[in-house]
Chain A
């Protein structure tokens, strides 16, 4: 039974900390949640020399233990809580050669918590080019730690890091800074009141309390020590920072030499174009268009493949398994239902791929820089760009990505409007309706169908931005400017990192939404194949009587029977019940059912229609063909015609998202008010627009 130790990976963002984590744990990692928060918790296992096992936690990137966001708060909470089962036996601080001075601030803070702390200096491969040289033994002595100089890009130094972690017990836990020097009088009082506690730890708890207004553990009764006002505390924090830098400067003066003649140039040169007042924006829009175009084009092939594969699977199951309800459930309920979600893994994966590359390369920060002023006009932040773009994949990770927006009002507004952007789940609905009702033909070289899709995307962004504008005027919340964003060096994204990110995010999406859809598919199928009363049970007899005079083939009769059964099944009854409400929009009860079910997950709309149209049918027709044949009993024309199609498209453009999105909004805003408001407002808007459009167009 090998012993296991807890290792915490901490560091500034953009230092390659994730690469270190990946290098240490390989694919043996797991992503979950910090309880009570939505912050990602990444853990993995690494085998150290001589049988020791390291349980590694990759903590969110932070610049200092004085947290300014939820992510950063998670780090502090863990490091202050000795009873937490993840409390580290050793802390590994990841820094990079270029920003060593700033990175060391965090290092000194953590060392002062008296945890064995190891220093990792990453990006060693850049040292020569930047003219930086380090005296490692001297630095180790001055900082009282062990240092691993590594390069994740060239895969160097990882083994020596493992060796150092292995010997963690030999690392000194003396602090760097004598905390009481910040304000001798204040800290002497503290020392007397709490003689058994670490001074720095005490200080952190007090200042954190001021920052965040509440503490989750009651290890200290610090209430009586709130003798300083918030601005006085801030002044002390400033003093602390100055003292730390004084220490760091003295260390680096002897331990580091920089040859300034070897200045970089690449970052400056790239920035000159990419953040240019005109070209910056042009380039950004071109990149955006390319991404969307690529996703639309590239994804079509795998998607068609998946669609066909699932149709075949369905058919094959029916021939291979014994006939009966369970087989039907599998072949006509579960398989098409699942196919409906798996079919757009290609899209989601591509989008996450592009976003990940943009972030890893450092370009994303430039985008935020370019867009901030514009965004603020509408109550958003430059940092809202990432959530808004992510929203085109799925609103759920998009809402979670708002965590790094410091300003509460900007963050809230971003969360509320992200659901307007065209998420991947709407695409199946859009694509199938567009294919059915938009005519062939081109305009300026682009097909009408492509143009319609583009229009819907623009509509999504437009309504998001416009709603943000309205919300900004309406919401009476204070708004201060805490905006600070680092502009990291440009680098070529590490393929491994990008891959792992894409796999993780796609998995999370598929399994999260997948389970809900599976459950809905099952229930749906059962409701659609069960019915009570004469009409249902004697369907066969009734229909045959009805069509006695007409000369129908056996196949056509079977189809009629299946249809009749469906109409009188439990689901048919529910559908008919809401039909009067949706008829003014041009829909029938089948569409009605699909709409209701898609509240669970938007893409379920197509899956539901697939189920409804496959129930009872035996051939391999894909959904599209069957829908084309459907006739609206009231108007006598095809159900999916231009007017009803547009109405449906617009309904989906504005209707409130899936249940999963409501749940995440509730989590991130901590109240039911906002998700409910979203639900009511957006559903009403969708209904009205669809109604007006249909009545106008028909």
Chain B
């Protein structure tokens, strides 16, 4: 019985961590990187 409970808890936590991580990586992170400067449309040679 205890084994089952522990196992279920482990799986649910893993699931939560994984989901949060992915959301962070693909939704939050790219937005943060938008802080970079405008570069490239003029002939700055860059």
Chain A residues with CB under 8 Å of chain B are 36-37, 68-70, 73, 211-214, 216, 322, 324-327, 329, 406-408, 411-412, 477-478, 480, 482, 515-516, 518-520, 522-523, 526, 600, 659, 663, 666-667, 669-670
Q: Check A329 against B38 for contact (C-beta < 8 Å).
A: no
List the A residue with the shortest CB-CB distance to B35. Answer: A36
Q: Flag if B39 contacts A670 (CB, 8 Å).
A: yes
Minimum-distance CB pairs A-B, first 8: A324-B7, A519-B18, A326-B7, A326-B10, A522-B18, A36-B36, A408-B40, A325-B7
A408:B46 contact, CB within 8 angstroms: yes
A403 to chain B, nearest CB (A): 9
Please measure, in the bound complex, the distance between the C-alpha atom of A519 and the C-alpha atom of B19, giving whole angstroms: 7
Using A324-B7, A325-B7, A326-B6 as known contacts, say yes or no to A213 and B21 having CB atoms under 8 A apart.
Answer: no
Chain B positions 1 through 12: 1 when the CB is less than 8 Å from some CB of chain A, otherwise 0: 001101110110
Output the nearest chain A residue to B21 by Cβ-Cβ distance.
A519
By a beta-carbon cutoff of 8 Å, the part of chain B in contact with chain A is 3-4, 6-8, 10-11, 14-15, 17-19, 21-22, 25-26, 29-30, 33, 35-46
Known: A519-B18, A519-B21. A412 touches B45 (CB 8 A): no
Residue pair B38, A670 in contact (C-beta under 8 Å): yes
If A326-B7, A663-B30 touch, whether A516 touches B43 (CB-CB below 8 Å) is: no
CA distance A669 to B40 in the complex (A): 8
Query: Is B46 in contact with A68, judged by CB distance below 8 angstroms?
Result: yes
What are 10 A-to-B residue pairs whose CB atoms are below 8 Å? A69-B45, A325-B7, A326-B8, A406-B45, A406-B46, A411-B40, A480-B43, A519-B22, A523-B19, A526-B15
Residues of chain A within 8 A (CB-CB) of B36 are 36-37, 667, 670
Q: How far is the CB of A574 from chain B (nearest CB, A)?
A: 15
A-chain residues with CB within 8 Å of residue B41 when the two chains form the complex: 408, 477
Interface centre among A216, A326, A515, A669, by most chain B C-beta atoms within 10 angstroms, is A326
Which residue of chain A has its CB nearest to the CB of B33?
A667
Return the chain A residue nearest B42 by Cβ.
Answer: A213
Known: A212-B46, A663-B29, A667-B33. A412 touches B40 (CB 8 A): yes
Knowing A36-B35, A326-B10, the reply to whether A478 touches B19 (Cβ < 8 A) is no
The CA-CA distance from A73 to B45 in the complex, in Å, is 11
Cross-chain contact A520 with B22 (CB below 8 angstroms): yes
In the complex the two chains form, what is the Cα distance from A406 to B14 in whole Å? Answer: 45
8 Å CB contact of A666 from B11, B15, B30, B38: B30
Roughly how many angstroms separate A406 CA and B40 CA in the complex, as a whole number? 10
Q: Once the chains are docked, how many angstroms separate the CA of A537 from the CA of B43?
A: 64
How long is the Cα–Cα vector from A478 to B40 in the complex, in angstroms?
A: 11
Please tell me if the beta carbons of B46 and A478 are within 8 angstroms of each other in the complex. Answer: no
Main secondary structure on B side of the interface with A: helix
Report if A329-B11 is in contact (Cβ < 8 Å); known contacts: A519-B18, A663-B29, A667-B33.
yes
Q: CA of A442 to CA of B6 in the docked complex: distance in angstroms?
A: 56
Instruction: Decide: A69 and B46 in contact? CB cutoff 8 A.
Output: yes
Contacts of B39 in A (CB 8 A): 70, 212, 670
Smallest distance from the beta carbon of A71 to chain B beta carbons, Å? 10
User: Chain A residues near B18 (CB, 8 Å)?
Assistant: 518-520, 522-523
Q: Which chain B positions have C-beta within 8 A of A325?
A: 7-8, 10-11
Q: Shortest Cβ distance from A668 into chain B, in angstroms?
A: 9
In the complex where A212-B44, A408-B40, A666-B30 touch, is A516 in contact with B10 (Cβ < 8 A)?
Answer: no
Cα distance A680–B21 when bound, in Å? 25
Closest to B26 in A: A659
A329–B14 touching, CB < 8 Å = yes
* A35 nearest CB neighbor, chain B only: B35
**CB-CB < 8 A to A477: which residues of B?**
41
Contacts of B43 in A (CB 8 A): 408, 478, 480
**CB proximity of B7 to chain A, nearest CB, Å:** 4
**Residues in A neighbouring B8, C-beta threshold 8 A:** 324-326
Other contacts beyond A70-B46, A520-B18: 8, CB < 8 A? A68-B46, A324-B6, A325-B10, A326-B11, A329-B10, A516-B22, A522-B14, A663-B29
Bound together, the chains give a CA A411 to CA B35 distance in angstroms of 21
B residues near A411, Cβ cutoff 8 Å: 40
- Closest Cβ of chain A to B24, distance in Å, is 10
Q: Which B residue's beta carbon lies closest to that of A216?
A: B37
Residue from B11, B22, B26, B46 in contact with A526 in the complex, judged by beta carbons closer than 8 Å: B11
CA distance A36 to B36 in the complex (A): 5
* Contact in complex: A515, B21 (CB < 8 Å): yes
B11 to chain A, nearest CB (A): 5
Instruction: Give, as a whole number of angstroms, the nearest-CB distance from A201 to chain B.
Output: 21
Report B-chain residues with C-beta under 8 Å of the C-beta of A406: 45-46
Minimal beta-carbon separation of B39 from chain A (angstroms): 6
Name the residue of chain B whose CB is nearest to the CB of A230.
B43
Residues from chain A with Cβ under 8 Å of B25 in the complex: 515-516, 659
- Whether B14 pairs with A482 at a CB distance below 8 angstroms is no
From known contacts A326-B6, A329-B14, A516-B25, infer whether A214 and B37 are also in contact, taking CB-CB under 8 Å.
Answer: yes
Tell me which residues across on chain A come within 8 A of B19, comparing CB atoms. Answer: 519, 523
Contacts of B26 in A (CB 8 A): 659, 663
Q: Verify B11–A482 contact, CB threshold 8 A.
A: no
Q: Is the CB of B38 within 8 A of A482?
A: no
Among A600, A663, A670, chain B packs the most CB atoms within 10 A around the CB of: A670
Chain B residues near A480: list those with CB within 8 A.
43
Residues of A within 8 A of B33 (CB): 36, 666-667
Cα A523 to Cα B16 with chains together (Å): 9
The answer on a CB contact under 8 Å between B11 and A211 is no
Contact B11 A68 (CB under 8 A): no
In the assembled complex, the Cα of A663 lies from the Cα of B19 at a distance in Å of 18
Complex Cα–Cα for A600 and B26 (A): 10
When distances are taken between beta carbons in the complex, the residues of chain B under 8 Å from A412 are: 40
B26 to chain A, nearest CB (A): 6
CB distance from B2 to the nearest CB of A (A): 10
In contact, A482 and B42 (Cβ under 8 angstroms): no
Tell me the minimal C-beta distance from A74 to chain B in angstroms. Answer: 12
Q: Which residue of A lies closest to B14 (CB)?
A: A522
Most buried by B among A211, A329, A411, A519: A519
Q: Please, which residues of chain B bring their CB within 8 A of the CB of A407?
A: 45
